[in-house]
Amino acid sequence: MLPALLTILLVALFPLLWTLWESLHLHDLRMPWLGKPFIGLDNYVEAFSDPRFWGALGHTVFFAVTSVGLELVIGLWLALALNRAFRGRGLVRASVLVPWAIPTVVSALLWRFMFEGQYGIVNEALVGLGLLPEPVVWFIRPMAAWVPVILADVWKTTPFVALLLLAGLQNIDASLYEAARIDGASAWRQFRYVTLPLLKPAILVALIFRTLDAFRVFDLIYALTGGGPGTATEPIALYTFNVLLQNLEFGYGSALSVIVFLITFGLALLYIRFLGAELTGAQR
């Protein structure tokens, strides 16, 4: 027991405490002549007055809400479809998972390639179908650049959400639908009053996983837009990476890391409270 605890302490807590300690110093590897003085909470004060930090936080929230929202809706629809009995269901279920199996960087580059340039596949298709009057250079417009980012994320992770929800659907007792039907409930009312309430735990699990993931989004945007144009699609993890590993500002970068950690940790706690209540509620 004790060795296990010690290991956990060492593996989980030590890096965290080290980062915390770093974040209280001015430590800039590229300015060694400044030394490494203790500066208290100055790095945090600086973060809160740094417009690029707030911008990055805003982009992260925007990305998380939009992509997770879409994934949930499409994932639920997909799960309902897959829950029906039809021929070749096993094959369809497996093939739905293909985007999820592709490494994020690869799929990011795929999407980048499709959207890139004035003569990319997407532009050709949209102009050909008459949906766009002329080609758009997606990656130089702050809002347009989000389109491939969010599409790529939705494409990749909706299958994961769908499978989680499918597992939840299969846990619902079929007799409940039978009873509802006998009582004359329409398909919508069955969905609204049987499926949704009983699916809530599964939805919450999917939400936890996806929001926490979305909040830490890095590789997808790094490979797709690099955070551009300007910093219009830069999420907080990418900004932290730039500060830490490009600029080698260990003190300030550590402060940013701590802030990201606190936010995701807070989110997780919030969800766990909800989920816990939900589970005990279901037991009653």
Partner 1 sequence: MVLGACGGASSNAGPAVVTFPISALGAEGEVLERQLSRFMAANPGIKVVQRITPDAADQKHQLYVQWLNAGASDPDILQLDVIWTPEFAAAGWILPLNQFGPDTAAFFPSTIVANQWQDSLYALPWFIDVGMLYWRTDLMASAPVTYAELTRESQRAQRARRLRYGYVWQGARYEGLVVNFLEYLGAHGGRILDRGQVVVNSAEGLRALSEMRDEIYRHGVVPSSVLTWHEEESRFAFQNGEAAFMRNWPYPVPLMQDSAESRVAGKFSVAPLPAGPGGRPTSAIGGAQLAINRRTEHPEAAWAVINYLTQPEQMRERARVVGQFPTRPGVYDDPELASGLAIPPATVRRIIEYAVPRPVTPVYTQLSEILQIHLHRALTRQAEPAAALGRAQAEMQRVLNRAGLGTGAPVARR
Residue closer to partner 1 by CB (options 31, 101) is 31
The pair of structure tokens assigned to 178 is 């039978």
Nearest-approach distance from CB 35 to partner 1, in angstroms: 11
What is the C-alpha end-to-end distance of the chain, expressed in Å? 34
Helix (H) or strand (E) holding 104: helix 104-115
- Other beta carbons within 10 Å of 195: 22
Please report the sign of the dihedral spanned by the C-alpha atoms of residue 118, residue 121, residue 126, residue 129: positive
Angle CA 205–152–100, to nearest 5: 55
Residue closer to partner 1 by CB (options 71, 234) is 234
59 phi/psi in degrees, rounded to 5:
-60, -40
Helix (H, G, I), strand (E, B) or coil at 28: strand
DSSP 194-259: IIHHHHHHHHHHHHHHHHHHHHT--HHHHHHTTT-STTTT--HHHHHHIIIIIS-BHHHHHHHHHH
By the rule CB under 8 A, 142 interacts with partner 1 = yes
By the rule CB under 8 A, 31 interacts with partner 1 = yes
Site for partner 1 in 117-136 (CB under 8 A): 117-118
Please report the sign of the dihedral spanned by the C-alpha atoms of residue 196, residue 202, residue 207, residue 208: positive
Nearest-approach distance from CB 46 to partner 1, in angstroms: 6
Q: Which residues contact 186 (CB under 8 A, 6 or more apart)?
A: none
Residue closer to partner 1 by CB (options 32, 90) is 32
Nearest-approach distance from CB 154 to partner 1, in angstroms: 23
Residue closer to partner 1 by CB (options 203, 255) is 255
Is 39:21 a contact under the CB 8 Å cutoff?
no
Binding segment toward partner 1, per CB under 8 A, in 22-30, 148-156, 209-217, 269-277: 22-30
From residue 40 to residue 59, the character string flagging contacts with partner 1 as x (rule: CB under 8 A) and all else as - is --x---x---x-x-------
Residue closer to partner 1 by CB (options 18, 77) is 18
Residue closer to partner 1 by CB (options 117, 197) is 117
By the rule CB under 8 A, 137 interacts with partner 1 = yes
Among 195, 211, 242, 257, binds partner 1 (CB under 8 A): 242
Nearest-approach distance from CB 137 to partner 1, in angstroms: 5
Nearest-approach distance from CB 32 to partner 1, in angstroms: 5
Residue closer to partner 1 by CB (options 204, 238) is 238
Q: Which residues pair with 249 in a beta bridge?
A: 28
Nearest-approach distance from CB 144 to partner 1, in angstroms: 10
Site for partner 1 in 218-237 (CB under 8 A): 226-232
From residue 246 to residue 265, the character string flagging contacts with partner 1 as x (rule: CB under 8 A) and all else as - is xxx-----------------
Q: How far apart are CA 83 and CA 56, in angstroms?
A: 39
255 phi/psi in degrees, rounded to 5:
-60, -45
Contact residues toward partner 1 (CB under 8 A) are: 26, 29-34, 39, 42, 46, 50, 52, 116-118, 137, 139-142, 226-232, 242, 245-248
